[in-house]
């Protein structure tokens, strides 16, 4: 069995509001995306990485990230699509996985994933076929319509989805193909498997595994990173 990682990194980072794509902003000594790739490059359970970037950034990313930091597990750098779901689908088609291989899908914009969560996600796929890394909601969540609260879901049942999300290749590839044919849009990959009526196991993530989205996330990430460096 081969363990593949797909890294969707083909967004434009609009909410960060910087001229360069947020994934090339430096966090400590390296770009955000290089931290994300390092994590899997160093992880013994990971065999192959497929990186998905905007079409116009293919050369830049190959030269300034993959070659510069010598990521030897990156077997392909390919172009993404309009939505994240399109980018992941391109990655699934390009990665060359066999039906029973495990595929982890992890946002390029999440550079602080603890390595043990990767092992737990792989183990959960072996038990259940699909696994989602998530953390319990800390804040109370309100459902709102026209500026008015309509519902307060029971917080003890709410978890916030992160990545990696991990699957048997056959399961996630068929979910994506069906969604494409039927024009079904989900906000994460696990939702496509739920839509097929198949079980998805929860793996406890970390509050440090934040997605770099807006400028304050970079400040938080800098301080988490300093803490990790001190512990090492
Ligand atoms: N992503 C992708 N293809 C897209 C859109 C997003 O591969 N068409 C990737 C992003 O590069 C990112 C991850 O999916 O690593 C999560 O998306 P998000 O945090 O929303 O990043 P962006 O879409 O780049 O940011 P924004 O929504 O602020 O423009
Ligand atoms: Mg986006």
Q: What is the pLDDT of residues 47-83, one digit of tens each?
A: 999 999 999 999 999 999 999 999 999 999 999 999 9
Alpha carbon 77 to its chain centroid, in Å, reads 16
Percent of the chain with pLDDT over 70: 100
Pocket-forming residues, ligand 1, beta carbon under 6 Å: 8-15, 52, 80-84, 87, 107-109, 211, 213
Q: Which of 6, 7, 11 to mutate to test the pocket of ligand 1 (most atoms within 8 A of CB)?
A: 11
**Nearest-atom index, ligand 1, CA of 22:** 24
Q: What's the gap in Å between 203 CA and the centre of ligand 2?
A: 23
Q: Which of 130, 127, 135 is nearest to 197 (CA)?
A: 130
3-class DSSP state for residue 148?
Answer: strand
Percent of the chain with pLDDT over 90: 97
Domain range summary for the chain, segments of one domain joined by +? 3-231
> pLDDT tens, 88-101?
999 999 999 999 99
Q: What's the gap in Å between 1 CA and the centre of ligand 2?
A: 32
Q: What's the gap in Å between 21 CA and the centre of ligand 1?
A: 10
pTM (predicted TM-score): 0.97
Residue 207 CA: distances (Å) to CA of 31, 102, 120, 142, 195: 21, 25, 16, 21, 27
Which residues on neighbouring strands pair with residue 145, listed in sequence order?
148
Q: Give the closest residue (by CA) to ligand 1 atom 1.
A: 11
Backbone φ and ψ of 114, nearest 5°: -70, 135
Q: Give the Cα separation of 195 and 187 in Å (integer).
A: 12
Q: pLDDT (tens digit, 0 to 9) for every residue of the chain, 232 residues total?
A: 999 999 999 999 999 999 999 999 999 999 999 999 999 999 999 999 999 999 999 999 999 999 999 999 999 999 999 999 999 999 999 999 999 999 999 999 999 999 999 999 999 999 999 999 999 999 999 999 999 999 999 999 999 999 999 999 999 999 999 999 999 999 999 999 999 999 999 999 999 999 999 999 999 999 999 887 788 7
3-231 has which CATH code?
Answer: 3.90.550.10
Q: Which of 166, 170, 212, 209 is nearest to 189 (CA)?
A: 166
Q: Which of 4, 158, 27 is nearest to 74 (CA)?
A: 4
């Amino acid at each position: 069995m081969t363990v593949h990682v797909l890294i969707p990194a083909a967004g434009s980072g609009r909410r960060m509001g910087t001229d360069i794509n947020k994934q090339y902003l430096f966090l400590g000594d390296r770009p955000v995306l290089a931290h994300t790739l390092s994590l899997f490059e160093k992880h013994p359970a990971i065999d192959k990485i497929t990186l998905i970037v905007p079409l116009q950034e293919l050369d830049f990313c190959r030269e300034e990230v993959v070659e510069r930091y010598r990521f030897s597990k990156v077997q392909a750098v390919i172009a993404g699509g309009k939505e994240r779901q399109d980018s992941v689908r391109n990655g699934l088609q390009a990665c060359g996985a066999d039906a029973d291989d495990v595929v982890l899908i992890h946002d390029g914009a999440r550079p602080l994933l603890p390595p043990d969560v990767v092992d737990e996600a792989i183990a959960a796929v072996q038990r259940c076929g699909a696994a989602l890394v998530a953390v319990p909601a800390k804040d109370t969540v309100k459902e709102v319509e026209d500026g008015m609260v309509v519902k307060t879901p029971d917080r003890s049942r709410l978890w916030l989805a992160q990545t990696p999300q991990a699957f048997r290749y056959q399961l996630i590839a068929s979910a994506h193909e069906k969604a494409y044919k039927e024009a079904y849009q989900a906000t994460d990959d696990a939702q496509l498997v739920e839509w097929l009526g198949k079980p998805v196991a929860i793996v406890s993530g970390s509050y440090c595994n934040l997605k770099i989205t807006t400028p304050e996330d970079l400040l938080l990430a800098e301080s988490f990173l300093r803490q990790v460096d001190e512990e090492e």
